[in-house]
C-alpha cells in the first residue's frame, strides 16, 4: 500500500478497550494502522518482503514505515473495532493448533518415508523459516523442536501467532513438502490429521483456510 517516512505519519499509543495493554497506532491521512512487526536497520529486505507478501499476496492494506534506525510494518485497523476480537490480533487457538498439526504431519511423514537425514534437513529448513519471518515463540532451535514434537492439543499455551504467520507457515510448509517429496500428495495425508480437532474447530479452520491465500495448496 504505502512506504512512508517518519515525518509523514503520527504515532500514538491507544489503550486496548478490554485489556490492560497500550497499542501503538500509526495515523496517516485519516487512516489508522496497528503495528504488525518491527525490524532493525539491517533488516530492510526482510521488512520489505513481509510488506510485499501482505499487500501483494494476501491483499492486506499495510504500511511500511522507514526510519533511520529501523523498519516496521503496520496493518490497517479501525480504532472502534480494536476490542471486537476477544483474542486480540492473535489467530484463534484452534487455527494455530490446526497449522501445527499439519506441520507435524509433514515432519513425521518425512521421518517415516525419507529417513533421519532428510527429517534433519527439514527441521533445519523450518528453523530458518521461523527465524526469517520472525515467528513469536519460535526463535530458537529448541523452540522449533518443541513445535515439531509437542502435541498442539496438549500445549499449555500455543504460540501467539497472527493470520499472516499462519498463512506464511502454510505457504512455506507446502513448498518444503513439495521439495522433499517431489510432489504434493503429502498435503492430503497431512490434512487427515485435522480430524484430531473437535468437529467445530475443524469446521472453523477449514472455513478460514478456504478464504486464505493458501486455499488451493491445502484442500
Instruction: Tell me the per-residue pLDDT of 24-38, one tens digit each, with 9 for 90 and over.
Output: 889 999 999 988 877
Residue 183 has a pLDDT of 95
Residue 53 has a pLDDT of 82
Residue 21 has a pLDDT of 59
* Residue linked to cell 499476496: 57
Residues 119 and 144: their CA atoms lie apart, in Å, by 13
Residue 189 has a pLDDT of 94
Q: Residue 123 in contact with residue 144, Cβ under 8 Å?
A: yes
- Helices (DSSP H) in 17-162: which residue ranges? 44-52, 93-114, 116-132, 141-149
Residues 182 and 97: their CA atoms lie apart, in Å, by 26
- With 90 as the cut, is the pLDDT of residue 43 above it? no
- Give the chain's mean pLDDT: 87
Number of residues written out for the chain: 219
Least confident interval from 8-22, 94-108, 200-214: 8-22
Q: SS3 of 28, please?
A: strand
Q: Residue 106 in contact with residue 176, Cβ under 8 Å?
A: yes
DSSP string, 62-93: EEEEEETTEEEEEEE--GGGTTSSTTTTSPPH
At 87, the pLDDT band (50, 70, 90 cuts) reads very low
Residue 177 has a pLDDT of 96
- Give the pLDDT mean for 69-91: 73
What does the block give as the cell for 196? 484430531
Q: Residue 111 in contact with residue 100, Cβ under 8 Å?
A: no
- For the ranges 7-21, 43-57, 184-198, the one whose mean pLDDT is highest: 184-198
Residues 87 and 89: their CA atoms lie apart, in Å, by 6
Phi, psi for 31 (deg, rounded to 5): -105, 150
- Give the pLDDT mean for 141-152: 94
Residue 86 has a pLDDT of 45
Q: What is the pTM of this model?
A: 0.68
- With 70 as the cut, is the pLDDT of residue 89 above it? no
Residue 143 has a pLDDT of 93
Give Cα 79 distance to the centre of its chain.
23
112: β partners:
none
* Residue linked to cell 472502534: 80
- With 80 as the cut, is the pLDDT of residue 99 above it? yes
Angle 32-91-43 from CA coordinates, rounded to 5°: 65
Cα torsion at 171, 54, 165, 86 (round to 10°)? -140
Amino acid at each position: 500500500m504505502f512506504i512512508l517516512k517518519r515525518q509523514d505519519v503520527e504515532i500514538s499509543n491507544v489503550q486496548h478497550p478490554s485489556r490492560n495493554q497500550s497499542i501503538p497506532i500509526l495515523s496517516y491521512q485519516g487512516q489508522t494502522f496497528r503495528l504488525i512487526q518491527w525490524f532493525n536497520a539491517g533488516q530492510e529486505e526482510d521488512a520489505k518482503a513481509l510488506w510485499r507478501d501482505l499487500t501483494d499476496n494476501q491483499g492486506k492494506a499495510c504500511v511500511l514505515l522507514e526510519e533511520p534506525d529501523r523498519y516496521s510494518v503496520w496493518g490497517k485497523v479501525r480504532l472502534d473495532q480494536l476490542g471486537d476480537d476477544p483474542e486480540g490480533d492473535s489467530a484463534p487457538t484452534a487455527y494455530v493448533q490446526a497449522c501445527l498439526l499439519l506441520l507435524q504431519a509433514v515432519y513425521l511423514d518425512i521421518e517415516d518415508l525419507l529417513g533421519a537425514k532428510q527429517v534433519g534437513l527439514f527441521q533445519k529448513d523450518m528453523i530458518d523459516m521461523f527465524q526469517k519471518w520472525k515467528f513469536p515463540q519460535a526463535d530458537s532451535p529448541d523452540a522449533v523442536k518443541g513445535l515439531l514434537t509437542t502435541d498442539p492439543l496438549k500445549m499449555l499455551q500455543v504460540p501467539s501467532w497472527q493470520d499472516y504467520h499462519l498463512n506464511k507457515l502454510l505457504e512455506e510448509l507446502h513448498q518444503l513438502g513439495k521439495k522433499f517429496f517431489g510432489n504434493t500428495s503429502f498435503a492430503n495425508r497431512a490434512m487427515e490429521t485435522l480430524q484430531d480437532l473437535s468437529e467445530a474447530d475443524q469446521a472453523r479452520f477449514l472455513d478460514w483456510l478456504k478464504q486464505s491465500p493458501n486455499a488451493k495448496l491445502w484442500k
